[in-house]
A and B are shown apart, each in its own frame.
Chain A
Amino acid sequence: GENVEQHPSTLSVQEGDSAVIKCTYSDSASNYFPWYKQELGKRPQLIIDIRSNVGEKKDQRIAVTLNKTAKHFSLHITETQPEDSAVYFCAASGYSSASKIIFGSGTRLSIRP
């Protein structure tokens, strides 16, 4: 079955700098890759997702890149702000609706003022 690895487990960056979180997956049939943000004590919320027919997707300060050959995908946050502090989870799933979504172990991002 699918296995998703996420790095780093913790990340601290200066406000205004960029943050990058990387994930690898094992199942070459996976084609849907969402990213979730979980603030302390709150539910995970989708921030961006990408499908395997594109290599990069942007939404304001957030971008995700996908390399299907290498089976890895990354989240990039530019011009970080204090409200970006949270735990971020990557995930992967296959094409079929029968394929469950598998999550990475999470990255705790802290933004230093």
Chain B
Amino acid sequence: GAGVSQSPSNKVTEKGKDVELRCDPISGHTALYWYRQSLGQGLEFLIYFQGNSAPDKSGLPSDRFSAERTGGSVSTLTIQRTQQEDSAVYLCASSLATGYSNQPQHFGDGTRLSIL
């Protein structure tokens, strides 16, 4: 079946512009995560959506970053007034988290964001 889909796969933009990154999770997955991965680095947690609960935004690095998840499915990560340090790969993951236990995450291929 279809996995986690992210778009665009690559995005090059000028400093100061806004960007929107999209994530289509696996159908039926209630949990959705956004991570940022700089070159050669680990997975930096950004935000976590779980069902109808309020999202955990504790990882967002500044108020220029925001995310939405409409209808419990597709999510959009928005970065306003982009800076060069925002350049990274943005990864989305979804999982079939239930009330009983966490389940494995499935990652998308990521969006490689480059700020000129």
Contacts and interface: CB of A to CB of B under 8 A. Distances in A.
Given A98-B53, A103-B42, A46 B99 contact: no
A98 B30 CA distance: 11
Interface in B55-100: 56, 91, 93, 95, 97-100
Interface in A26-44: 31-32, 34, 36, 42-44
A74 to B, nearest CB: 18
Contacts of A36: 105
Interface residues of A, number: 26
Interface of A: 31-32, 34, 36, 42-46, 49, 51, 89, 93-106
16 contacts: A43-B107, A44-B93, A44-B107, A46-B105, A46-B106, A49-B104, A89-B43, A93-B102, A97-B30, A97-B98, A97-B100, A100-B33, A100-B48, A101-B33, A103-B45, A105-B42
